[in-house]
């Protein structure tokens, strides 16, 4: 596990925590996603950044890190990133809500496990 690769895991974890903070400050996920001006765009940008870090790990062939994550989960995250980037208004918020509620906690735990092993 290279220092450069693990730094991407730290960034993924940081972005997840930013999303959690946004949701917590707004009261819940639905309220955060209903805020067109600040909260929804921030969440979508953080999700995009998470997907980009996974893509960079894939390009680096950081299989020792990527093997920690479910391949379908990572692909799903990148697919959402593609929708955000290319069809911003068409993003299915139910999917985004599901990711925040179910996917991100799983990614967070996996990132923390990787970081604990690295340290």
- Residue-wise pLDDT tens digits, 13-72: 999 999 999 999 999 999 999 999 999 999 999 999 999 999 999 999 999 999 999 999
Total domain count for the chain?
1
Return the closest-CA partner of residue 33 out of 102, 103, 116, 91: 91
SS3 51: helix
This prediction has a pTM of: 0.92
60: number of Cβ within 10 Å:
14
Give the CA distances from residue 14 to residues 10, 19, 87, 90, in Å, rounded to whole numbers and listed in that order.
6, 9, 25, 26
**89: containing domain:** 3-118
With H, G, I as helix, E, B as strand and everything else as coil, classify residue 36.
coil
Q: Are 96 and 80 in contact (CB under 8 A)?
A: yes
């Amino acid at each position: 596990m290279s220092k450069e690769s693990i730094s991407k895991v730290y960034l993924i974890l940081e972005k997840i925590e930013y999303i959690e903070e946004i949701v917590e400050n707004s009261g819940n996920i639905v309220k955060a996603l209903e805020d067109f001006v600040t909260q929804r765009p921030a969440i979508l940008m953080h999700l995009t950044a998470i997907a980009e870090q996974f893509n960079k790990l894939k390009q680096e062939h950081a299989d020792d890190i990527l093997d920690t994550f479910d391949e379908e989960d990572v692909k799903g995250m990148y697919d959402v990133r593609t929708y955000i980037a290319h069809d911003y208004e068409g993003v299915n918020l139910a999917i985004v809500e599901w990711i925040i509620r179910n996917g991100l906690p799983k990614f967070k735990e996996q990132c923390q496990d990787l970081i604990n092993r690295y340290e």
